[in-house]
Amino acid sequence: MDTQTIKKESLVESVKERISGSEAVIKCLLAEGVDIIYGYPGGAIMPVYDELYKYQEQIHHVLTRHEQGATHAAQGYARISGKVGVAISTSGPGATNLITGIADAQIDSTPLVCITGQVGSHLLGSDAFQETDIVGISTPVTKWNHQITKASEIPEVFAKAFYIAQSGRPGPVLIDITKNAQFEEFDFEYNKCEAIRSYNPVPETNPDTIDKAATIINEAKKPMIVWGQGVILGQAEEELKAVIERTGIPSAWTILGASAIPTSHPLNVGMVGMHGNYAPNLLTNQCDVLIAIGMRFDDRVTGDLKTYAKQATIIHFEIDPAEVDKNVKTDVAVLGDAKKSLSMLLPKLAKNQHPDWHQQFRDLYKVEYEKVIEDDLYPKQDGLTMGEVMKEINLQTKGNAAIVSDVGQHQMIACRYSEFNETRSNITSGGLGTMGFALPAAIGAKMASPEREVIAIIGDGGYQMTIQELGTIFQTKVPVKIVVLNNDFLGMVRQWQQLFFDKRYASTEMVNPDFVGIAKGYFIEAQRVSKRAELSGAVEEMIQHDGPYFLEVCVEKEDNVFPMIPSGASVSDIRLS
């Protein structure tokens, strides 16, 4: 054996160290750059927590008050930072409590690694105490999952998990670790995963599809762009902006695509979807070319598929081949990473402005402003509206805050009226529509970006689903700002009951507690406002306060969110009242 080979083998041996499986878990997390994890301890994961105790200076563990809160906090962390969020829990109910957040992350393409403890290998399948088949349960809502029964599997599985979670179209991964694997010792060595056989996360972009797309766009008379979160996930914001500015194409966004381009950009024409803006929804069925970038034609965007953009040539830029032609038949599919695809497209595009086409958007915006927006932002009635609360927040944050919204009427208002200057500023539950998302997600977002103002916008219904996370805020002192828009109703359901069920408000009126008193019970500064004259000062006090703050705003009980496309209707059937 030559000297060089001996040196190489010695180097390999020097990297290995004999440690327990539980310590290996911590070292894997450190190797992947993890600095914060969210979780809740229990018997089956206790060995890992024991090792975590020894690494407190390297990894900050945040004790949430419920495992669902841990997954949502990890989502908020991931959404604002672009990094992988990590959540950890014990077996049985601890593991099943993660499922809602995992399902939310799956449909919204959020990179998570969730770690669960499990009973010992010899007890698997015996219905042991707190044994649940979490791998079977989570299979439909994870990008990948794996059960570890031997300590020696830990490094390879963790490396794969982080690679899969953040590569291509991101998503959640679950690792289930039996208790014996946590105790076993083995020779630890960690190598990051850079490829997996048969797994191709980013399809190669075909130059021919770029050429076809460019030709169609250059010849279009009334083109329209709809972008989604794929632009943000692919870090393609500047490329999208360059394409829009070169072509002069009016461009709209899905809820999860919000903030990729500043709200104030002159070619940003607003939000599409059930409660989106009037012009981009209506003109979807009048454009001659529809360019979809990093969006999946969700039913809340398309309405009735039989009538959606039938007159248009459809160009779809997409990283996930499974999304192409799934809902809407495309004429040109450009597979690949959005950043690369748009970079390839840009030099082939002709400069244009489309002034007459833009005038149609301006004319329809004027109609929406007069019938909806003016009343939302500058109401004539005495009661406060959700829209004017968002207007005041915009004014005092100058569009620089990250807005974390829950699910319901307030979510639609927050997405419609928030002003965003920076990408990754709109954090909400999109595809799953998870009430209770915002409070824990705001905790994670603020921890990931402590320099940014993070404001949670929540309804009185969703707030009470994860209200226990006020305890997490109290313990960590994370300075998140919480605004509850209280209309004493499950507002979105009530709106549907009013419009489509003859005002039969079945089980939607809320009898609420003293929210301010509860916040103060957690030693969080709080106040309630119900009058217009109080609003500006209350928002200012919240923003200026050095620490967490809770603001309850009592808004009109039966205000509705318009425009609105009735469920299953065409985007052309959008209502203004």
Residues noted as catalytic: 67, 129-130, 179, 492
Phi, psi of 176 (to 5 degrees): -105, 125
Q: Which residue has the tokens 């160290």?
A: 17
Beta strand pairing call for 172-178 and 36-39 = unpaired
How many Å apart are CA 162 and CA 84, to the nearest integer? 7
* CB-CB contact of 474 with 524 (8 Å): yes
* 259, 263, 269, 271: CA torsion to nearest 10: 50
How many Å apart are CA 90 and CA 107, to the nearest integer? 24
Helices (H), 369-429: 374-377, 386-397, 409-417
3-class SS letters over 191-203: CCCCCECCECCCC
Terminal CA-CA length for the chain: 83
Instruction: Give the three-state DSSP class for 224.
Output: strand
Phi, psi of 461 (to 5 degrees): -75, -55
Beta strand pairing call for 185-188 and 17-20 = antiparallel
How many Å apart are CA 533 and CA 531, to the nearest integer? 5
Beta strand pairing call for 454-459 and 402-405 = parallel
Sign, CA torsion 133/136/141/142: positive
Q: Which residue has the tokens 């349960």?
A: 137
Read off the tokens for 282: 């209506």
* CB-CB contact of 457 with 411 (8 Å): yes
How many Å apart are CA 28 and CA 49, to the nearest integer? 14
141 C-beta neighbours (distance < 10 Å), count? 21
* CB-CB contact of 59 with 29 (8 Å): yes
